[in-house]
């Protein structure tokens, strides 16, 4: 016998966990649909060349590759094998991979189906993705992403709409968050006025760590890009700006910086018309690693717990040009469902009445009772009651113990007396009380109990 196990970083889910996860997904999906986004799905596997080169070298390392079928060794790159070049050899025996995120497959989808969809195209997608990352807190090799994007429009109306969607979902989940907003053009402006335009990516990676490693370390690392300490400190003060006005003076010689300010002002002209429950703050230090963002960027942090970001997104000017379609701007955000789950679990924010237990379980003593229970159960199911029949008659203790362990709210006992009188001995498993109820009244009796007592909430 083999010991059962799972590959690292991936998980099973118990019924109660599935229920909680569904609660999160359903909440998110409901809001997506309300804002007129529609669902699409893309396959688990993509061609490897669709995925490679889109996430940087690090991303390529983290792609799960699927080995070719058939006599793949014959066609493999023997030279790469001899040289011990894993990456090159792998690509010679693997032409497919598991999707790494939902955005790149979406870009591929938009290009392939451009004649079948109308723009602006508002889509959402809730599906698992896979990364061969080393697992740790809030980080798994298989996890769900919940993406909403709109492609085919440059309107900053959508930025406002997406921030509102964040606010609405997290309000619904009763999580207090801070939604950070910035614009890549602000960062480009900072790079420009600091003489770092050629090291833009490196600069953003460093300043993104500001709240993690502190300003001194950031200054130190920025100087590694061959700028003076004064310039580095200048960058710190720019990304510490609290308002757009503070930046506009600094950006008087930076066209891109000014464009960033304009975009954020336009964003606000829409966004300020909306009611929001959560804090939405301008944070010039927000960078986001993904290189395809070109305009506004967003990140959501939980205010109640120490968790990394639980959502992020932004605008990209030309996501689809990789696949041969120009001038297709888009903007989108993603919800980190796994981390949201962990945060909600930690804070005890799941609703108390999420229940996986049936309303009623029939138990009985002999075959005649069992058949009657089976019949009653079918009738009650027709009327919408979630009920079940214990599969074996006989040992009452065993049946009751099962009823208790699944948390069922009522047990219906059927024995000789009940058969003779057309009743069911209805036992309330919370209170322990029981009464003989004629079968016609059973459903009503249960419904009345439900209305009168909230004792059924777990």
Partner RNA sequence: GUGGUUGUAGCUCAGUUGGUUAGAGCGCCUGAUUGUGGUUCAGGAAGUCGUGGGUUCAAAUCCCAUCUUCCACCCCA
Binding footprint of RNA on the chain (CB under 7 A): 3, 5-9, 56, 58-59, 61, 101, 131, 133-141, 143, 145, 205, 208-209, 212-213, 288-290, 308-312, 334, 336, 338-339, 365, 395-398, 400-401, 403-405, 411, 413, 415-418, 425, 427, 429-430, 432, 434
CA 191, CA 208: separation in Å to the nearest integer?
Answer: 14
**Least distance (Å) from RNA to the CB of residue 363?**
8
Q: Among the residues of 208-254, which ranges form H helices?
A: 210-213, 215-223, 229-239, 244-250
Nearer to RNA, 251 or 316 (CB): 316
Residues 196/184, Cβ–Cβ less than 8 Å: no
Nearer to RNA, 132 or 325 (CB): 132
Nearer to RNA, 209 or 233 (CB): 209
* H-run or E-run covering 369: helix 367-382
**Least distance (Å) from RNA to the CB of residue 285?**
14
Nearer to RNA, 3 or 74 (CB): 3
**Least distance (Å) from RNA to the CB of residue 427?**
5
CA 43, CA 108: separation in Å to the nearest integer?
Answer: 12
**Least distance (Å) from RNA to the CB of residue 301?**
10
Nearer to RNA, 151 or 403 (CB): 403
**Least distance (Å) from RNA to the CB of residue 338?**
4
**Least distance (Å) from RNA to the CB of residue 5?**
7
Sign (positive/negative) of CA torsion 309, 179, 186, 238? Answer: negative
**Least distance (Å) from RNA to the CB of residue 55?**
8
* H-run or E-run covering 376: helix 367-382
Specify the residue for token string 């001899």: 82
How does strand 410-414 pair with strand 360-364?
parallel
Q: Per the structure block, which two tokens stand in for 22?
A: 């569904």
Nearer to RNA, 49 or 416 (CB): 416
Nearer to RNA, 61 or 237 (CB): 61
Nearer to RNA, 226 or 401 (CB): 401
Nearer to RNA, 129 or 241 (CB): 129
Nearer to RNA, 29 or 147 (CB): 147
Residues 6+ apart with CB under 8 A from 398: none
**Least distance (Å) from RNA to the CB of residue 378?**
21
**Least distance (Å) from RNA to the CB of residue 436?**
8
- How many Cβ atoms are within 10 Å of 323's Cβ, its own excluded? 16
**Least distance (Å) from RNA to the CB of residue 275?**
25
HEC states along 38-56? Answer: EECCCCCEEEHHHHCCCCH
**Least distance (Å) from RNA to the CB of residue 116?**
28
Nearer to RNA, 193 or 297 (CB): 297
Class of residue 457 by CB neighbours under 10 A (exposed 0-12, middle 13-18, buried 19+): exposed
CA 333, CA 88: separation in Å to the nearest integer?
Answer: 34
Beta bridge partner(s), residue 127: 145
DSSP codes joined into one string, 55-111: SHHHHHHHPPEEPPPSSTTTTS-HHHHHHT-HHHHHHHH--EEE-S-SHHHHHHHHH
HEC states along 2-32? Answer: CCCCCCCCCCCCCHHHHHHHHHHHHHHHHHH
Of 222, 230, 228, nearest in space to 200 by CA: 222
* H-run or E-run covering 330: strand 330-336
CA 281, CA 243: separation in Å to the nearest integer?
Answer: 10
Detail the DSSP E strand segments found in 120-231: 121-130, 142-151, 177-183
Nearer to RNA, 113 or 395 (CB): 395
**Least distance (Å) from RNA to the CB of residue 252?**
31
């Amino acid at each position: 016998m083999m010991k059962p196990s799972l590959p690292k970083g991936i998980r099973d889910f118990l019924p109660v966990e599935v229920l909680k996860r569904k609660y999160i997904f359903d909440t998110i999906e409901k809001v997506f649909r309300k804002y007129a986004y529609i669902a699409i799905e893309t396959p688990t596997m993509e061609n490897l060349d669709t995925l490679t080169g889109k996430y940087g070298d690090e991303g390529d390392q983290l792609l799960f590759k699927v080995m070719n079928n058939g006599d793949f060794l014959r066609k493999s790159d023997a030279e790469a094998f001899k040289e011990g070049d894993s990456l090159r050899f792998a690509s010679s025996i693997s032409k497919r991979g598991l999707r790494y995120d939902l955005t790149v497959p979406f870009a591929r989808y938009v290009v392939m189906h451009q004649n079948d969809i109308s723009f602006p195209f508002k889509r959402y997608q809730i599906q698992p993705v896979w990364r061969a990352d080393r697992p740790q807190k809030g980080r798994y090799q298989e996890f769900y992403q919940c993406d909403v994007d709109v492609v085919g429009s440059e309107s900053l109306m959508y930025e406002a709409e997406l921030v509102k969607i964040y606010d609405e979902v997290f309000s619904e989940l009763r999580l207090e968050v801070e939604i950070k907003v910035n614009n890549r053009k602000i960062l480009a402006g900072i790079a420009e006025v600091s003489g770092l335009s050629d090291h833009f990516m490196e600069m953003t990676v460093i300043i993104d760590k500001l709240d993690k490693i502190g300003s001194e370390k950031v200054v130190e690392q920025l100087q590694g890009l061959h700028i003076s300490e004064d310039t580095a400190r200048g960058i710190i003060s720019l990304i510490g700006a609290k308002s757009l006005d503070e930046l506009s003076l600094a950006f008087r010689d930076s066209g891109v910086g000014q464009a960033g300010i304009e975009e954020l002002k336009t964003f606000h002209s829409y966004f300020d018309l909306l009611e929001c429950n959560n804090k939405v703050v301008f944070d010039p230090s927000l960078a986001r690693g993904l290189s395809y963002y070109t305009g506004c960027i967003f990140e959501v942090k939980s205010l109640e717990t120490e968790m990394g970001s639980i959502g992020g997104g932004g605008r990209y000017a030309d996501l689809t040009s990789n696949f041969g379609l120009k001038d297709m701007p888009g903007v989108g955000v993603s919800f980190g469902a796994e981390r949201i789950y962990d945060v909600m679990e930690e804070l005890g924010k799941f609703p108390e009445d999420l229940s996986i237990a049936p309303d009623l379980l029939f138990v009985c003593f002999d075959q005649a009772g069992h058949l009657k229970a089976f019949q009653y159960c079918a009738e009650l199911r027709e009327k919408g009651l979630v009920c079940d029949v214990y599969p074996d008659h006989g040992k009452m203790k065993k049946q009751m113990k099962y009823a208790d362990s699944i948390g069922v709210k009522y047990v219906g006992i059927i024995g000789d007396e009940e058969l003779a009188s057309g009743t069911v001995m209805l036992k309330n498993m919370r209170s322990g009380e029981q009464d003989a109820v004629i079968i016609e009244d059973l459903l009503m009796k249960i419904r009345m109990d439900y209305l009168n007592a909230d004792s059924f909430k777990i």
